[in-house]
Chains A and B, each alone.
Chain A
Amino acid sequence: DADVTQTPRNRITKTGKRIMLECSQTKGHDRMYWYRQDPGLGLRLIYYSFDVKDINKGEISDGYSVSRQAQAKFSLSLESAIPNQTALYFCATGTGGRNEQFFGPGTRLTVL
């Protein structure tokens, strides 16, 4: 089984709809992250969490919110989706410091 899972893998929605993307991990890591990937821009950090009670904004948090329901679960919400939020979204986990992160398979979101 995959260590980091994301649901759904693909989603098409309409402008103004509320969308939730979910991430679960079995690696036992405290730190979880949400990134957005756009062509030619690499990955950009949306939100990150060091533990259940510690949520932090990344560089592009506007229009997004998150919830850390448990150590193993970290959800990303788009309260009112807009077309420029069409992108590939990745969840990642890690142990912090200068160590690597481990990525889920991604969710491809299209906002019409």
Chain B
Amino acid sequence: GDSVTQMEGPVTLSEEAFLTINCTYTATGYPSLFWYVQYPGEGLQLLLKATKADDKGSNKGFEATYRKETTSFHLEKGSVQVSDSAVYFCALSGWQGGKLIFGQGTELSVKP
């Protein structure tokens, strides 16, 4: 079945450092891909998405490109801030009735 694998955390960075969180997926057909963010004590918010190969999703300085050839959707940000500290989830939605399949989440901690 469909699955998503994320790099394990926690990831600790200094403010203004470059961020990459790796995400790879296995799916039949052409799923949509998402990054969700969960700030402490809150629910999940959609950060960005891409619906077809080579699409780039972007929001709040974060970017991710849908790479079909490597089945990846890595999250990047050029300069992280303390306020980016959160748990980040990669997810896909395939042809399974709109169900989301999540990775295990990656906790990011940004230090001043």
Q: Given contacts A98-B31, A103-B45, A104-B43, is CB(A42)–CB(B97) below 8 Å?
A: no
The A-B contact count (CB < 8 A) is 63
A48–B97 touching, CB < 8 Å: yes
**Cβ of B24 to closest chain A Cβ, rounded Å:** 14
Contact pick for B104, options A33, A40, A99, A102, CB 8 Å: A40
B93–A99 touching, CB < 8 Å: yes
How long is the Cα–Cα vector from A43 to B43 in the complex, in angstroms? 12
Q: Given contacts A42-B102, A43-B102, A100-B49, is CB(A105)–CB(B97) below 8 Å?
A: no
B97–A96 touching, CB < 8 Å: yes
Q: Which residues of A contact B4 (CB under 8 A)?
A: 42
Q: Which residues of B contact A90 (CB under 8 A)?
A: 43-44
- Which residue of B has the minimal Cβ distance to A44? B102
B residues at A contact (CB < 8 Å): 4, 31-32, 34, 36, 42-46, 49, 51, 89, 93-95, 97-100, 102-105
How long is the Cα–Cα vector from A43 to B38 in the complex, in angstroms? 12
A31 on interface, CB distance cutoff 8 Å: yes
How long is the Cα–Cα vector from A40 to B31 in the complex, in angstroms? 23
Contact pick for A97, options B46, B89, B98, B105, CB 8 Å: B98
How long is the Cα–Cα vector from A3 to B95 in the complex, in angstroms? 26
Q: Which residues of A contact B51 (CB under 8 A)?
A: 98
A58 on interface, CB distance cutoff 8 Å: yes
Q: Given contacts A42-B105, A98-B51, A98-B93, is CB(A58)–CB(B99) below 8 Å?
A: yes
A45 on interface, CB distance cutoff 8 Å: yes
- Which residue of A has the minimal Cβ distance to B32? A98
Q: Which residues of A contact B98 (CB under 8 A)?
A: 31, 94-99, 101
Q: Given contacts A42-B89, A42-B105, is CB(A101)–CB(B43) below 8 Å?
A: no
Contact pick for B93, options A41, A48, A100, CB 8 Å: A100
Which of B45, B98, B103, B104 lies at the interface centre, i.e. has the most chain A CB atoms within 10 A of its CB? B98
